[in-house]
Amino acid sequence: MNQSADATADSTAVRHGNHLAVLRQVHYAVGDKPVFRGLDIAIGRGDITAIMGPSGTGKTTLLRLITGQIHADAGEVIVDGQDVASLGHNALFALRRRMGMLFQNGALLTDLDVFENVAFPLREHTRLPERLIRTVVLTKLHAVGLRGASKLMPQQLSGGMARRVALARAIVMDPDILIYDEPFAGLDPISMGVVMRLIRSLNDALEITSIVVTHDVREISQIADESYILSGGEVVASGSPRELHDHPSPIVKQFMEGHADGPVPFHYPAPDYREQLLGPGEGK
């Protein structure tokens, strides 16, 4: 498995020349439960890289490792040449200023309106004059199609709109790397299409690197340059969407085709159904 992951990282390196983020032999556990057991991933600079996998495989944990919110128990997480775990508070915050992240629920600040949410990083990190802040914020809101919603409060926005505002906020500092945590979850088809196109167009127009954690195979296949499928704490497959669709592994097939049962079982481990129903057992 490790050999195939190394080969994956090597082939990606050859294809892209360089990587913005590299995870090497990452081990991470929550309590006694291992989440990653020797994870190897290479994020190509300028690419849209999809991280997929069944629920509970640690996709969001992977993002938290990349952003330095948590640190690996073993292995390296290198972002733009810097070992994230070894960075001090100031260096980590300097690195984060070059990142943008779209949270699953948008994570907009509920006491600020749309305009102020987008302006928030600018006000915190720059001393730009008010007029320039206004111009930058309106430009970013226009890019996500919500310039007209600048005065609304977060609670007045639909799920799709909130995510687009969060996207405008994520790109307001012109980051080098944009991270999306489940960007399509809970969106109607129109909003999903809008967000999908935005991810691609922003990646190309701003020349950034995008990492997208998602379950939505069909949508991400249309825009991803490279995809990784995680399961059991490891990368079980990687490659272009087409390569993954043709992958012979049963677990990749189950995931890509959305079968309810397979290597990832439908049922949580349980005693025999008949015995449990008819037996003398008590309680649950």
Partner 1 sequence: MNGVIAELVASVGAFLERFGALARFFGRLVWLTPGGLLKVRLLIEQVYNAGALSLVIIMTCGLFVGMVMGLQGYDLLQRIGSEDALGVGAALALLKELGPVVTALLFAGRAGTALASELGLMRATDQLAAMEIMAVDPMKRVVLPRFLGGVIAMPLLTAVFIAISLYGVQLIAVQFFGVDQGQFWSQMRGAVEISDIREGLIKGLVFGIACSLIAVFEGYNALPTAEGVGQATTRTVVISAVVTLILDYILTALMI
**Chain residues that interact with partner 1, rule: CB under 8 A:** 67, 69, 93-94, 96-97, 99-101, 103-105, 107-110, 120-121, 124-125, 166, 169, 173
DSSP 8-state symbol, 155: G
Place of tokens 């490790």: 2
Distance in Å, CB of 93 to partner 1, minimum: 4
- With respect to partner 1, which residue has the nearer C-beta, 12 or 117? 117
Strand residue runs (E) in the chain: 19-30, 33-44, 48-52, 74-79, 82-83, 99-102, 177-181, 209-213, 226-231, 234-239
DSSP 8-state symbol, 268: P
* Closest to 97 (Cα-Cα) out of 176, 210, 168, 165: 176
Distance in Å, CB of 89 to partner 1, minimum: 8
Distance in Å, CB of 198 to partner 1, minimum: 18
Distance in Å, CB of 228 to partner 1, minimum: 21
Cβ pair 72, 26 in contact under 8 A? yes
Distance in Å, CB of 60 to partner 1, minimum: 10
Distance in Å, CB of 226 to partner 1, minimum: 23
Determine the residue type at 47: D
- With respect to partner 1, which residue has the nearer C-beta, 55 or 110? 110
CA distances from 236 to 11, 31, 37, 177, 247 (A): 15, 24, 12, 25, 10
- With respect to partner 1, which residue has the nearer C-beta, 19 or 169? 169
Cβ pair 197, 189 in contact under 8 A? no
Dig out the tokens for 12 from the structure. 């990606």
- With respect to partner 1, which residue has the nearer C-beta, 105 or 249? 105
